[in-house]
A and B are shown apart, each in its own frame.
Chain A
Amino acid sequence: MIRYALQRLVLAVPTLLIAGLLVFLLIRLVPGDPALLLVGDLGDPAALEQARRDLGLDRPLPEQFLRWLGGVAGGDLGRSVTTGEPVLAMILERFPVSAQVVLAATLLAALVAIPAGTVAAWRQDGPFDHAAVGLAVLGLSVPSFWSGLLILILFGVTLGWLPTIGYVSPAEDLAANLAHIAMPVAALALTEVATLLRMTRAATLEVMRLDYVTHARAKGLSDAAVLSRHVFPNAFGPTLTVLGLILGHLLGGIVVLEKIFGLPGMGRLLVDAIFQRDYPVVQGCLLFIAFVYVGVNLLVDLLYPLFDPRVRP
């Protein structure tokens, strides 16, 4: 198992290298000049040239890339063009905000969707199944930014139950933190509940058609025993894979919700950096997201054999 994990870790290095090269090149393909945005509308060519020199933008592209890569290898993602702060520090300050919302939304979605999807499959074509599938289709059809806005209007403006803007970290005040993240978590979870529910239902239905489930029923085991001992463990594998993908996907997808709810997360940091052509921050954020994505999927791969003995290395 350890050898398998190490192999996967080594394989992640070229993935991250390719991701690094792509993000470096892609942001530079977008027209715009960070030095121009830094100097602003003062129209001073000397200040502009000085800013370009300070930012290293006057150097050839391969040299810029190698410098950046060398820094990354040493744990230095560079400094923000706009604020001058170290990029890694900015990411480490913002990532926990996004991670908290994404993890809470994923946990909430899993707690709702996995039991609901299992029961919907167990009672296939019954009223609960129809209701669950209908709601899942609705959930998938509504983009999270729209459901987020509706939640904001209802609970933030009309009822006034939850704060509409701002963020408080859990270290400062846990209760206030929960009040501030409740709406974005709910908006994010709504879409993911739908995805997970459909996945769980489909996997459960597939397992239920297998001979050993029929055999277990023929032995006279109760519904609950068949479901918990024979169906759920075997149906959970594909759901776990989807959970891993969802976690990575949400890190990228939380951007709009962070804007709507004013959360100072990494998604907003990334989008702001793109609009400001803050190359080091864009590169750092995307590389970090790729790193997390690879890490989460590695973790899922390592957990998978616990549920499905067929894939044990």
Chain B
Amino acid sequence: MGAGGGRRSRRRTGRVIGAAVAGALAALAGTAAAAELRVVLPSDIRSTNAGVNRDQVTDWVLHHVVEGLVALDGALRPAPLLAEDWTVSADGTVYEFRLRDGLTFHNGAPVTASEVVWSWRRLLDPATRWLCRSWFDGSGGTGIRVVGLEAAGPGTVRFTLERPNPLFLTRMAHAVCLSGILHPDSVDGAGRWRMPVATGPYRLADWRRGREVTLSRFEGYRPRPQPADGLAGGRDAMVDTLRLMVVPDGTAAKYAVLSGAADLWPAASAEAVPRLSEGGAVRLMEEETADVAVLLMRDADPLLSDPRIRRAVAHALDRAEIARSTLFARTDANPSAVPRASRFWTPEHGAALPHDPARARALLAEAGYDGQPLRIQVSRDNHLYLNDAVVIQAQLRAAGLNAVIETYDWATQYRNYQAGDYQLSVMGFSGRPDPTLMYETFVGDRAQRANVVVDEPGAVALLARSAAEPDEAERKHLLADLHARVVEDATLLALYTPRRLTALGPRVAEYPGWALAMPRLWTVRLAEDAR
């Protein structure tokens, strides 16, 4: 055998050993079951107590387990989920929900009106600490007060409101509150939380804290006959087991998808796009969200209390450039807190103080601006907004403003925002099902809430009217007027609607996106060879 033959033989031996080692180690590590979907979670869930101890990731997971009477559809409208349908009395104060036939809880017990009443009484009990209780008990200024809650028959539940409110169903369907219908076995004899015994297409099989959450398909689930539509519609789970693995590091998540250890990475980081795009094995799905990226200005600040300075900042901004430079998640500029995909978005929402550096300079001169520093707060935890802050800083400087960036961790920036302790702040807000709910985050009376951004009486009045107006066409007009007021006030500068990326491994054949960009893993269809 010659030298070349020896090298070939060594290479062959090396390959054989490599394959053997790989096989042995793969066997050691265990391989995924055929009908199992492995999903990356950026953090662990906080609890299994929906709407009580929650964060975004907790919501993501528990929406697969817990269902409410209604849920948001693809157009962010409330649609029936456990309810077959509902009726509203002529005066708008009585809602009757008729439950679907044949529904069962994860423990096999039938779903009846008494469990619905029990669930809602538990949610409205202050001892439960439901985060959205004040939306329904009259204490939160929403105009909603549930004064009656009763079973109007074995399959019918009646809610009576003190006054009619057009946003009652929207708030009930709000993804964050997750007003889930539970079996009383979910709590112990003393009313302490045990685990969700609910009605969703998946049930909680295992939770290894800090490691993973396993959901298994609920065989007794009866999906609605309609196709999947947002969080509503048919929730016909196609994968037996969901392994939701906690991978807090973006780099690790990227390599997990690339190595095939994970099949789906929701909210993939934009920095991972170039590497994930290589080779073509991993697909990237871009979803338009209902989120909003904003630049907030604190008009209580001595410098920014002068509207000319605030307007100069607004004229200095080139939103199109900011939107173009949002890392790899491309999007269009949107000067409104109403997302472009919303049914409430009208051309009036495209209005803004135009990009005009010369006008900005003139306003600054008129206001006697003397180069005082203007601090932009941003979180270093979110590269998207950090990148925006850098672009905004450059644009403000180009217009003659001495803008400086201050980076914080998210907890600090969030505290500063809540306390109103900032000059400028670049942040993002997760999507709300209705523009009124988004505007109420920003607009209000600062004497009652320190984090109010727009404290302008006209805007506050318009917000209140939009929350009480039942006619959708009229609400569109009110929201357009509200946007115009916000533009004039120049404290809330919406920038664009962020997009969200989801990385899909080769085992995933189909995974449709939707407006809230919240994972809906019941819609995942695995590739033939992965099942």
Contacts and interface: CB of A to CB of B under 8 A. Distances in A.
Interface of A: 30-33, 36-47, 50, 54, 82-85, 90, 93-94, 149, 152-153, 156-157, 159-168, 173, 175-176, 178-180, 259-262, 264, 268-269, 272, 275-277
Given A33-B415, A166-B212, A262 B255 contact: no
Contacts, number: 153
A47 B46 contact: no
Interface string B297-331: 00000000000000000000000000000000000
Contacts of A90: 209
Contact of B412 (A31, A94, A168): A31
Interface size class of B (residues with CB under 8 A): 35 or more
A47 B134 contact: yes
A161 B22 contact: yes
12 contacts: A30-B411, A33-B418, A40-B55, A40-B131, A40-B176, A41-B430, A47-B131, A47-B134, A93-B210, A94-B210, A264-B209, A275-B381
B21 interface: yes
Nearest to A152: B255
Given A38-B53, A157-B258, A163-B29, A83 B249 contact: no
Interface string B384-426: 0000000000000000000000001111101110100000000
Contacts of A157: 255, 258-259
Interface stretch (B103-111, B240-248, B463-471): B240-248
A25 B133 CA distance: 34
A309 to B, nearest CB: 46
B251 interface: yes
Contacts of A38: 53
Interface in B124-164: 126, 129, 131-135, 139-140
A165 B412 contact: no
A186 to B, nearest CB: 14
A166 B22 contact: no
Contact of B30 (A152, A168, A268): A168
Interface in B187-242: 208-212
B33 to A, nearest CB: 14
A290 B108 CA distance: 50
Contacts of B247: 165, 262
B495 to A, nearest CB: 18
A259 B18 CA distance: 28
Nearest to B451: A43
Given A93-B209, A264-B209, A42 B53 contact: no
A197 B392 CA distance: 51
A149 B255 CA distance: 10
B112 to A, nearest CB: 30
A272 B248 contact: yes
Nearest to A93: B209
Contacts of B408: 31
B258 A165 contact: no
B249 A259 contact: yes
Contacts of A166: 29, 211-212, 245, 261
Contact of A165 (B22, B53, B252, B410): B252
Contacts of B139: 46
B382 to A, nearest CB: 12
B28 A260 contact: no
A165 B243 CA distance: 12
A159 B18 CA distance: 8
A35 to B, nearest CB: 10
Contacts of B449: 43, 45
A165 B441 contact: no
Given A33-B418, A152-B255, A156-B259, A165 B429 contact: no
B262 interface: yes
B259 A160 contact: yes
A69 B451 CA distance: 34
Contacts of B262: 165
A124 to B, nearest CB: 36
Nearest to A162: B25
B47 interface: yes
A161 B410 CA distance: 37
Nearest to A48: B418
